[in-house]
């Protein structure tokens, strides 16, 4: 049995064949896995000092920051790590779509999008736990989207609004879901190692090198740069990714001037605000993510032989990234007529460009 595990590690960590032509974009998958592990470890340490009670949750965070040795660093390392996870996810998915990796093994892409959805749910649950002013009202807005489903809010929250049972259940889910996601990560890596990685020249070459030491040296160099950057960010710009209103204590009777989520949810939030009807906005919000599952159903390898289709495909990809960035900017603005009209136009372009990408394949 010990020999089996040794051979398993050797085949996947040392002699695993990798394409010679892969560039630095392939290192972000490794960075994403390391960041998730660091998030699990830092979250486990934070849970030792957190109290999931509506009366003490906010003060337990500030007790951790002010009284616990290196507590402030641990807290901001964990909160900033969520932003880094989404940065790496967006780069990782963009690389997959840009280099047409989903054409060769769609199970990798489908498992990756499923992981993306799970990580979004974990990030939302974790954003509510500090129970600041923005956390409370953000949770109230999202939970009210479930009002068309009978008794679903009462089932999830334990009451009719965000209150003490809600916080306890969110903490329980936020603590357990990362361990469940580890299983999906293993499945994702299993499908990846089933046929090896893609490369900029597509998965049609036989020039392979061993994972160790060639790929591991690149991975650890990128990891060194990431650790250096996150040290600078946590020591000098630790509150860059957070909203200032979330540092205030909850006041259920005082609605913030502008309820805004974290930056990695701003695109979906802009789409939600662009639709006047709440139920229709919730459906469009879900379809903006679920539509990526359609990429896994495309298996037309002959696209590689049509140069005009390739050029149009890359043009649509660039337009999609531009629209996505604009939606992030619009999502952080006040819900005024000027920004709402632009959000509606960008939402239409969002689906139009994705349909154009699918049709170009």
DSSP string across 82-147 = HHHHHHHHHHHHHHHHHTTGGGT-HHHHHHHHHHHHHHHHHHHHHHHTT-BHHHHHHHHHHHHTTT
Q: How far apart are CA 322 and CA 163, in angstroms?
A: 39
pLDDT value for 32: 93
Is 13 a domain residue? yes
Those residues with Cβ within 8 angstroms of residue 48's Cβ, 6 or more apart along the chain or in another chain: none
Of 76-90, 145-159, 208-222, give the range with the top mean pLDDT: 76-90
Domain containing 329 equals: 272-361
Q: How far apart are CA 27 and CA 145, in angstroms?
A: 37
CATH number at residue 140: 1.20.810.10
Q: Give the phi and the psi of residue 132 in degrees, each rounded to 5.
A: -80, -175
Is 64 a domain residue? yes
Active-site positions? 193, 197, 218-219, 262
Asked if residue 272 has pLDDT above 60, the reply is yes
Q: Which of 305, 301, 316, 304 is nearest to 359 (CA)?
A: 316
Q: What pLDDT band is residue 328 in, cutting at 50, 70 and 90? A: very high
Is 17 a domain residue? yes
Q: What is the pLDDT of residues 225-251, one digit of tens each?
A: 999 998 888 888 878 888 888 888 888
Is 311 a domain residue? yes
Last residue of a domain, one of 259, 288, 321: 259
Q: Same domain for 44 and 177?
A: yes
Q: Are 112 and 188 in contact (CB under 8 A)?
A: yes
Q: Same domain for 119 and 170?
A: yes
Give the residue carrying structure tokens 């500090």. Answer: 130
Q: Is the peptide bond before 274 cis (omega within 30 degrees of 0)?
A: no
Q: Same domain for 329 and 197?
A: no
Asked if residue 335 has pLDDT above 80, the reply is yes
pLDDT value for 115: 92
pLDDT value for 86: 94
Is 264 a domain residue? no
Asked if residue 307 has pLDDT above 50, the reply is no
Q: How far apart are CA 123 and CA 241, in angstroms?
A: 13
Q: Are 174 and 104 in contact (CB under 8 A)?
A: no
Question: In the predicted model, what is the mean pLDDT of residues 177-198?
Answer: 86
Asked if residue 304 has pLDDT above 60, the reply is no
Q: Same domain for 192 and 298?
A: no
Instruction: Return mean pLDDT, the chain.
Output: 85
Asked if residue 3 has pLDDT above 70, the reply is no
- C-alpha dihedral sign at 271, 274, 280, 281: positive
Q: Same domain for 313 and 346?
A: yes
Is 265 a domain residue? no
Q: What is the pLDDT of residues 19-76, one digit of tens each?
A: 888 888 889 989 999 999 999 999 999 999 999 888 899 999 989 999 998 899 999 9
Give the residue carrying structure tokens 């619009």. Answer: 330
Q: What pLDDT band is residue 13 in, cutting at 50, 70 and 90? A: confident
Q: Same domain for 167 and 280?
A: no
Q: Same domain for 246 and 278?
A: no
Question: Which one has a higher pLDDT value, 302 or 280?
Answer: 280
Q: How far apart are CA 46 and CA 65, in angstroms?
A: 11
Last residue of a domain, one of 234, 259, 284: 259
Q: Same domain for 250 and 346?
A: no
Q: Same domain for 235 and 139?
A: yes
Is 19 a domain residue? yes
Total structural domains within the chain: 2
pLDDT value for 20: 82
pLDDT value for 100: 81
Those residues with Cβ within 8 angstroms of residue 243's Cβ, 6 or more apart along the chain or in another chain: 134, 260, 262
Question: Which one has a higher pLDDT value, 268 or 17?
Answer: 268
Asked if residue 305 has pLDDT above 50, the reply is no
Question: Which one has a higher pLDDT value, 309 or 154?
Answer: 154
Question: Which one has a higher pLDDT value, 15 or 99?
Answer: 99
Q: Same domain for 23 and 161?
A: yes
Q: Which of 119, 25, 107 is nearest to 293 (CA)?
A: 107
Q: How far apart are CA 314 and CA 327, in angstroms?
A: 20
Is 266 a domain residue? no
Q: Same domain for 46 and 67?
A: yes
Q: What is the pLDDT of residues 140-153, one digit of tens each?
A: 988 988 888 888 88
Total-model pTM: 0.92
Last residue of a domain, one of 232, 259, 286: 259
Q: Same domain for 288 and 342?
A: yes
Q: What pLDDT band is residue 309 in, cutting at 50, 70 and 90? A: low
pLDDT value for 5: 66
């Amino acid at each position: 049995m010990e020999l089996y595990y040794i051979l398993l590690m050797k085949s996947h960590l040392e002699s695993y064949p990798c394409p010679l032509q892969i560039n630095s974009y392939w290192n972000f998958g490794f960075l994403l896995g390391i960041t998730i592990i660091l998030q699990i470890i830092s979250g486990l340490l934070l849970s030792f000092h957190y109290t999931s009670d509506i009366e003490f949750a906010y003060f337990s965070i500030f007790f951790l920051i002010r009284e616990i040795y290196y507590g402030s660093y641990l807290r901001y390392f964990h909160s900033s790590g969520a932003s880094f996870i989404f940065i790496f996810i967006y780069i990782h998915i963009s690389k997959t779509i840009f280099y047409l990796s989903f054409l060769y093994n769609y199970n990798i892409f489908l498992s990756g999008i499923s992981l993306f959805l799970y990580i979004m749910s974990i990030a939302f649950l974790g954003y509510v736990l500090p129970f600041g002013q923005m956390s409370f009202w953000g949770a109230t807005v999202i939970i009210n989207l479930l009002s068309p489903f009978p008794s679903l809010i009462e089932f999830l929250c334990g009451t009719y609004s965000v209150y003490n049972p809600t916080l306890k259940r969110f903490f329980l889910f936020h603590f357990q879901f990362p361990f469940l996601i580890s299983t999906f990560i293993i499945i994702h890596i299993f499908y990846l190692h089933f046929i090896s990685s893609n490369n900029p020249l597509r998965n049609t070459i036989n020039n392979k090198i061993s994972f160790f030491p060639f790929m591991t040296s690149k991975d650890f160099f990128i990891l060194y740069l990431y650790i250096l950057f996150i040290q600078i960010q946590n020591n000098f710009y630790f509150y860059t990714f957070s909203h200032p209103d979330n540092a205030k204590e909850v006041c259920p009777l005082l609605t913030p001037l502008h309820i805004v989520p974290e930056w990695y949810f701003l695109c979906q939030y802009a789409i939600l605000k662009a639709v006047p009807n709440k139920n229709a906005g919730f459906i469009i919000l879900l379809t903006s993510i679920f539509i990526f599952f359609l990429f896994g159903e495309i298996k037309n390898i002959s696209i590689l032989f049509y140069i005009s289709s390739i050029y149009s495909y890359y043009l649509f990809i660039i337009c999609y990234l531009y629209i996505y960035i604009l939606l992030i900017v619009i999502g952080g603005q006040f819900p005024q007529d000027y920004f709402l009209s632009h959000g509606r136009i960008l939402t239409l372009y969002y689906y139009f460009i994705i349909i154009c990408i699918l049709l170009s394949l």
